[in-house]
Amino acid sequence: GAKAIGKNKYHYYTKSMREQALKRVTLISDMRNAIKNEEFFVLYQPIYDLKTGKITKAEALIRWQHPTHGVVSPYDFIPLAEETGLINEISDWVFEQVCKNICYWRQHYLPELQVCINTSPMQYVDTENGIATWLEHLRKSEISPQAIVLEITERLLMSADHTVSDILAQFRAAGVQVALDDFGTGYSSISYLQKFTTDIIKIDKSFVHSINDSKINRTLCEIIIMLGKKLNLQVVAEGIETSEQNEILQALQCDFAQGYLFSKPIEPEELTALLRDSS
Ligand code: C2E
Ligand code: MG
Ligand code: MG
Ligand code: MG
């Protein structure tokens, strides 16, 4: 009867909750060993200059090849890494890989590329071991700071902490650029542009996906692009999947494009080949 079904549902529900909690705990403990077990890898998604059609930037995106779960999405493990503090170690590892790849591209005389690296708010809290160590590393290395872009989100700027703006200012003074990711999805995107200096804004893919659905979505993209021009910022549209979306963005004079229409995230060797072809 109804009661039995209800009861079963209840059991099913608690079981799945328990499973989820277990999965969470296992993922967290597995994540602690993932670096030394070499389960992480970095893919690069090319970003194209819409005026020249050339790849001038690429976004570094982490992947986790879990021994039993297959490839785990960063949407699933980055939040856990942030909760547990593992994010600092993981981010440093990503930075290290990016530096290695940049050195390789440089040594092989490939066209210069800016690599965009996603960063998490927690990296800006620890002033000793946090992201500031990247600056030191860059100073000691042969990598030009101009080759690096830090991607930040409004979540970081919301803290309104002046250590955050101090750290970002130090990076910018050294020549590292700052990109505001997922632009438009927060509550006060425009006010952050006024308070924190950035170089690039990335239009969130939710706006790009809906660009041909309605006049209002198209207008929103248009306004973000105009804002970028007025403030002298580069504008990247992310998540372009169709040629219709691309045509609209080109008509609106968007500067840069990133999305499956052009390329999905690829292995560093594949990016090397693309850069070679285009040079
Ligand atoms: P994000 O920084 O906004 O990165 C863009 C995401 O959109 C990537 O997902 C990318 O694969 C996906 N994407 C690109 N083009 C398209 C498209 O045309 N259509 C659709 N539907 N999606 C597209 P991914 O690689 O799964 O990463 C998800 C998020 O995880 C990233 O969003 C970023 O917030 C975070 N993340 C990834 N790598 C790192 C990392 O190394 N460190 C940190 N802190 N976060 C990372
Ligand atoms: Mg990003
Ligand atoms: Mg240097
Ligand atoms: Mg984004």
pLDDT beyond 60 at 277:
yes
Q: Is 109 in the pocket of ligand 1 (CB under 6 A)?
A: no
Q: Is 257 in the pocket of ligand 1 (CB under 6 A)?
A: no
Give the pLDDT of residue 157: 84
Report how far ligand 4's centroid is from the alpha carbon of 115 (Å).
14
Output phi, psi for 115, to 5 deg: -105, 125
Which residue, among 97, 57, 54, 41, has the nearest Cα to 238 in the 3D structure? 57
Give this complex's ipTM.
0.98
Measured CA to CA, the distance from residue 140 to residue 48 in angstroms comes to 30
Give the model confidence (pLDDT) of 169-224 as tens digits: 999 999 999 999 999 887 767 888 877 789 999 999 999 999 998 898 899 999 99
Name the residue of 76, 118, 150 whose CB sits within 8 Å of the most ligand 1 atoms, as the mutation to test its pocket. 118
Give the pLDDT of residue 10: 52
Q: Is 99 in the pocket of ligand 1 (CB under 6 A)?
A: no
Tracing tokens 């060993």 back to the chain, one arrives at 33
Q: Provide the b/e sequence for 227-246 (b: ≥16 CB within 10 Å).
A: bbeeeebbbbbbbbeeeebb
Q: How many CB atoms lie within 10 A of CB 95?
A: 23
Report how far ligand 1's centroid is from the alpha carbon of 206 (Å).
13
Give the pLDDT of residue 13: 55
Give the pLDDT of residue 3: 46
Which residue, among 99, 80, 118, has the nearest Cα to 238 in the 3D structure? 118
pLDDT beyond 70 at 55:
yes
Give the pLDDT of residue 12: 54
Give the pLDDT of residue 50: 96
Give the model confidence (pLDDT) of 8-21 as tens digits: 555 555 678 888 88
Give the model confidence (pLDDT) of 117-176 as tens digits: 999 999 998 777 899 999 999 999 999 999 999 999 988 888 767 889 899 999 999 999
Q: Is 120 in the pocket of ligand 1 (CB under 6 A)?
A: yes
Per-residue pLDDT band for 1 (boundaries 50, 70, 90) equals very low
Measured CA to CA, the distance from residue 47 to residue 250 in angstroms comes to 14
> What single letter denotes the amino acid at residue 1?
G
Task: Report the pLDDT averaged over residues 240-269.
Answer: 98
Give the pLDDT of residue 21: 82
CA of 242: how far to CAs of 70, 114, 144, 210, 261, in Å? 29, 25, 35, 11, 6
Per-residue pLDDT band for 2 (boundaries 50, 70, 90) equals very low
Q: Give the H or E element holding residue 190.
A: helix 189-195
Closest ligand 1 atom number to CA of residue 87: 44
Measured CA to CA, the distance from residue 48 to residue 271 in angstroms comes to 13
Which residue, among 147, 237, 229, has the nearest Cα to 193 in the 3D structure? 229
Q: Is the dihedral of CA 20, 23, 29, 31 positive or negative?
A: negative
Tracing tokens 């968007």 back to the chain, one arrives at 254
Give the pLDDT of residue 111: 87
Which residue, among 152, 154, 203, has the nearest Cα to 50 in the 3D structure? 203
Give the pLDDT of residue 17: 81
pTM > 0.80: yes or no: yes
Half-sphere exposure in the Cβ direction for 40 (13 Å, CA): 25
Task: Round the average pLDDT of the chain to a whole number and report it.
Answer: 91
Token representation of residue 84: 């547990």
CA 214 vs. chain centroid, Å, equals: 27
Please name the residues in contact with 253: beta carbons below 8 A apart, sequence gap of 6 or more. 225, 229
pLDDT beyond 50 at 226:
yes
Give the pLDDT of residue 184: 86
Which residue, among 126, 116, 117, has the nearest Cα to 167 in the 3D structure? 126
Closest ligand 1 atom number to CA of residue 182: 3
